Amino acid sequence: QAVLPGIAAGETVFCIGMSEPDSGSDLAATRTRAVPVDGGWRVTGTKLWTTGAHHADYMILFCRTSGTPADRQAGTSQLLVDLRTTEGITIRPIIDLAGQHHFNEVHFEDAFLPATALIGTEGAGWEQVMSELAFERSGPERFLSSMQLLIELVGVLQDAPGETAQLALGRLTAHLITLRRLSRGVAVMLEAGENPGTHAAIVKDLGATFEQELPDIARS
């Protein structure tokens, strides 16, 4: 009642607090900790590469509510963080090579969150995150992000494409069609209530490879 209407209306902006310093993509190594206190939680730690945190109203925070990083997936939970009103949060910009500000470092210093901030079940954070990532990883944005470059490449080559260019365009088109079918397949699994975690990870990996190869092929 408090949050979903704003999301549906396009008025509430979210960011996702997952990655941390020195842990790469190893989410299970999270060190950000939420300690139970009277009436809620006290959060201390740092999240890195948080896209859009400087614009966001809320963060979905993946953190440790029990145990230690050695416990890996066990003892992790998700908390809803009101970035507009919560004290003890510092958002620092990370400027990329193009001089643009998309990423951020978000630091929690004994930030208090109410008990109602818990999303889902305490200790079930890993299972929740994996199910959420199945939606994110399998989406078409990974390979559609470079679509305009492919369109421009076709436009440049269409008058007199050499054999090498034709082979490159054919290969790229075949990859694009395959990725689209794979992405739709994951969507069908999600719609059926199945767990497509592995399938979604494959789509993301293949999509990322396509996204990286396309500029190199176009440059050639």
Catalytic residue annotation:
136
Distance (Å, whole) CA 123 – CA 56 = 26
Distance (Å, whole) CA 47 – CA 32 = 8
Query: Which residues, in sequence order, are bridge partners of residue 62?
Result: 78
Running DSSP on this structure, what letter comes out for residue 100? -
Distance (Å, whole) CA 46 – CA 185 = 36
Running DSSP on this structure, what letter comes out for residue 67? S
**CB-side exposure of 154: number of CA atoms within 13 Å?**
10
Q: Could you give the 3-state DSSP secondary structure of residue 113?
A: strand
